[in-house]
Amino acid sequence: MNWDDLRFFLAVAGAGSLSGAGQQLGVNTTTVLRRVASLEDDLGARLFERERTGYRLTTAGEKLVEALEPVDRRLSALPRDFAAAGGGAEGIVRLAASDVVAASLLAPELPSFRRDHPGLELEIVTDPRLAAAGAAPRIGNPLKDVDVALRLARPTQGDMLMRKVGEMAYGLYAVPAYLEERGRPRQMADIAGHDLIGFPRTETPLGPVWWFSRAEKSAQVALRSSSVTARAEAARRGLGLAALPCILADADEGLERVFGPDMLGALEMWLLARNDLAQLAHVRAVMEFVVEAVKRHRGALEGRAQEVMELPPQSRPNH
């Protein structure tokens, strides 16, 4: 058996498709298919079922994943473990977050973070899985290739430090032209007949996702997308009423809020780190940076953008 074939198997199991695995590994889909077929021949077992939505693990494939995941996690962590051996508040830290969190929450805070930690290189990796409502996937652990992650749902497993740091509120938004033409809903019953822009059916019904599943029963779904950016742009183009994070949409002068988080709800924000890495100074510095960023932007995150953002400690007046 070619041990490298196991790497291709895990990539397909995590991505759920040959194309996704190919992008992750930097090869074409033909190579991925050939390596998986080679592994199946060596093991004498079928590892995947091909379905319309992608590749689903068979019972044999599930067993192989269970055997390989602990080894895969340790091997992927080795480079970071050695890089962190110095123990100081310097080095490289990889932080995973959704696009909205990275752009609207973390990026504005980076100048002050850079001044405070000139020897620390922060790498923010955007991962769409972190924006989805629901438990972290069993395959493709969000901490496999990163040191810290900020996820919009509570994880259900894994040897990691977990801390709820806040909530990201959602509202319903549209452009003025759409509201003038179709009318402005004042209550849930007024949604009937409107076009909605919301979430894929596969997302766990929490907060705004649950609200959308109720609203769509009396309205028309114009678009479902796991991409917040796509939903926001569709709303800007007048496609319909979009469920969007308040921290993003409230700052968009072209969008008007129709309903707020009192109706749509919010998603929890959880900070994750490997237990061993959380003891290192440079990783702790990034974790503290995230916690403080959430505190300072809490008003915007909770849909209270009109409130004054908390000042960083060094900017507060002395008494």
Show the domains of the chain with their CATH numbers. 4-79 (1.10.10.10), 87-312 (3.40.190.290)
* Max intra-chain CA distance, the chain: 74
Question: Using DSSP, how many helices (H) and how many strands (E) does the chain show?
Answer: 13, 11
Buried b (16+ CB within 10 A) or exposed e, 14-40: bbbbbebbbebbeeeeeebbebbebbb
Are 86 and 115 in contact by the 8 Å Cβ rule? The answer is no
Question: What angle, 0 to 180 degrees and rounded to 10, lies between the N-to-C axes of helices 29-43 and 18-25?
Answer: 110
The Cβ of residue 312 has, within 10 Å, a number of other Cβ atoms equal to 14
Are 282 and 91 in contact by the 8 Å Cβ rule? The answer is yes
Give the pLDDT score at 58: 93
pTM of the model: 0.70
Residue 139 is given by DSSP the state S
Q: Which of 171, 132, 168 is nearest to 263 (CA)?
A: 171
Give the pLDDT score at 216: 95
The CA-atom distances, in angstroms, between 216 and each of 108, 175, 201, 221, 242 are 35, 19, 11, 6, 12
Structure-token pair, residue 211? 């609200």
Buried b (16+ CB within 10 A) or exposed e, 254-285: ebbbbbbbeebbbbbbbbbbbeebbebebbbb
Give the pLDDT score at 135: 46
What is the sign of the dihedral through the CA atoms of 85, 89, 92 and 98?
A: positive
Give the pLDDT score at 80: 55
One digit per residue, pLDDT tens: the chain, 319 residues?
Answer: 777 888 899 889 888 888 888 888 889 999 999 999 999 998 999 999 988 778 889 999 888 988 887 666 666 655 555 555 554 456 789 999 999 999 999 999 999 999 999 999 999 998 766 655 554 444 345 566 788 999 888 776 566 788 999 999 999 999 999 999 999 999 999 999 999 999 998 888 889 999 999 999 999 999 999 899 999 999 999 999 999 999 999 999 999 999 999 999 999 999 998 877 888 889 999 999 999 999 999 999 999 975 434 444 444 444 4
Give the pLDDT score at 57: 92
